[in-house]
């Protein structure tokens, strides 16, 4: 990997953050893959956890997304949310995972903490149908309002269910 030479420093810096987090939230699961530190939290402590992270200096929320583990071999929980955070001061990165299940998957919204969460959460709602409790304006972001399915779920086919051709046809005579 290109950043091989800087890997060690990244690791140790991120470790500090993990230690202080583990002290505050006992039972935190963390893992590292290719220098990227990931922690798994429960939906219950999410708000408190993210508030704490923000105080630790993780001031930028890079991305909120989700993975549907429906067809993933050996997976036990269905939706895994991914929060990517960066501390712009030190350049540290942290990946936070949060798992929820059917039916009615819902997690607390963090749009009060980071503005960027607003649209990213709307996108996750649109694509996966995960409700963000406390979100100020949870509408579809990408698909039309009258669309009913959540297309990035694994049980939704790539070609859709015919919605894309559910339109009236205009011919020459209509001009």
Partner 1 sequence: MAIAPDQVTRSSSSGDGVREEDYLWTLNFGPQHPATHTTLRLVLKLDGERVVDAMPEMGYLHSGFEKIGEHLTFNQYVTVTDRMNYISPMANNVAWHHAVETLLGIDLTPRCKVIRTIVAELARVSDHLLSNGAVGLDTGAFTFFLYGFYQREVIYDIFETLCGARFTNSYTRVGGVSHDFTPLVIEKIRTFLRTFPKTLDDMERLLTRNRIFVDRTKGVGVLTREEAINGGATGPVARASGVTRDLRKDEPYLAYADYDFQVCCAAAGDCYSRYLVRMQEMRESIRILNQAIENIPSGEVNVGIEGRLALPSKQQVYSTIEGTISHFELSMSNRGFEVPREESYAAIEAPNGELGFYVVGDGSEVAYRARCRPPSVLHFSLFPQLIRGHTLSDVVAVLGSLNIIAAELDR
Partner 2 sequence: MAIELPENVMVSRLDELASWCRKNSLWPMPFATACCGIELMATGAAKHDLARFGAEVFRFSPRQCDLMIVAGRVVMKMLPVLQRIWLQMHEPKWCISMGACASTGGVFDTYAVVQGIDRFIPVDMYVPGCPPRPEQLIQAIIDLQDKIQREGTITGREFDTSQRQLRKRALVDVTGVLQVDAARNPVIQRELRFPRSESRLP
Residues that bind partner 1 (CB under 8 A): 1-6, 33-34, 36, 59-63, 65, 67-68, 71-73, 82, 84, 88, 91, 95, 114-116, 118-120, 123, 127, 140-144, 151-152, 158
- The answer to the question of residue 174 lying near partner 2 (CB under 8 A) is yes
Does residue 103 have a cis bond before it (omega within 30 degrees)?
Answer: yes
For 4-29, give one letter per residue: b (16+ CB within 10 A) or e.
eeeeeebeeebeebbeebeeeeeebe
- Supply the minimum distance, in Å, between the C-beta of residue 145 and partner 2: 7
The token pair at 119 is 């649209």
- Supply the minimum distance, in Å, between the C-beta of residue 101 and partner 1: 17
Query: Is residue 56 exposed (0-12), middle (13-18) or buried (19+ Cβ within 10 Å)?
Result: middle
Residues with Cβ within 8 Å of 106's Cβ and at least 6 positions away in sequence, in order, are 43, 100, 130, 131, 132, 133
Residue 67 binding result from partner 2, partner 1, none, given CB thresholds of 5 to 8 Å by partner type: partner 1
Question: How many other C-beta atoms lie within 10 A of the C-beta of residue 131?
Answer: 17
How many residues form the binding site for partner 2 (CB under 8 A)?
28
- Supply the minimum distance, in Å, between the C-beta of residue 160 and partner 2: 3
Compute the residue count for the chain. Answer: 175
Gap between the terminal Cα atoms of the chain? 59
Contacts with partner 2 in 92-151 (CB under 8 A)? Answer: 143-149, 151
Q: Which stretch binds partner 2 (CB under 8 A): 1-9, 83-91, 93-101, 160-168?
A: 160-168
Q: Which stretch binds partner 2 (CB under 8 A): 17-25, 35-43, 45-53, 162-170?
A: 162-170
Nearer to partner 2, 23 or 148 (CB): 148
Q: What is the binding site for partner 2 (CB under 8 A)?
A: 143-149, 151, 156-175
């Amino acid at each position: 990997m290109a950043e091989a030479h800087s890997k060690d420093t990244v690791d140790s810096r991120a470790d500090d953050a993990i230690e202080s987090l583990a002290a505050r939230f006992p039972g935190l699961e963390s893992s590292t893959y290719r220098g990227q530190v990931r922690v798994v939290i429960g939906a219950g402590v999410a708000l408190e956890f993210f508030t704490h992270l923000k105080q630790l200096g993780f001031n930028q929320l890079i991305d909120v997304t989700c993975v549907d583990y429906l067809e993933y071999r050996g997976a036990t929980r269905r939706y895994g949310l991914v929060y990517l955070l960066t501390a712009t001061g030190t350049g540290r990165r942290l990946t936070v995972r949060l798992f929820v299940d059917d039916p009615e998957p819902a997690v607390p919204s963090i749009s009060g903490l980071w503005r960027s969460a607003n649209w990213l959460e709307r996108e996750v709602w649109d694509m996966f149908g995960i409700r963000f409790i406390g979100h100020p304006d949870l509408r579809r972001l990408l698909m039309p309002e009258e669309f009913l399915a959540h297309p990035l779920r694994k049980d939704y086919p790539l070609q859709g269910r015919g919605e894309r051709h559910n339109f009236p046809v205009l011919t020459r005579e209509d001009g």
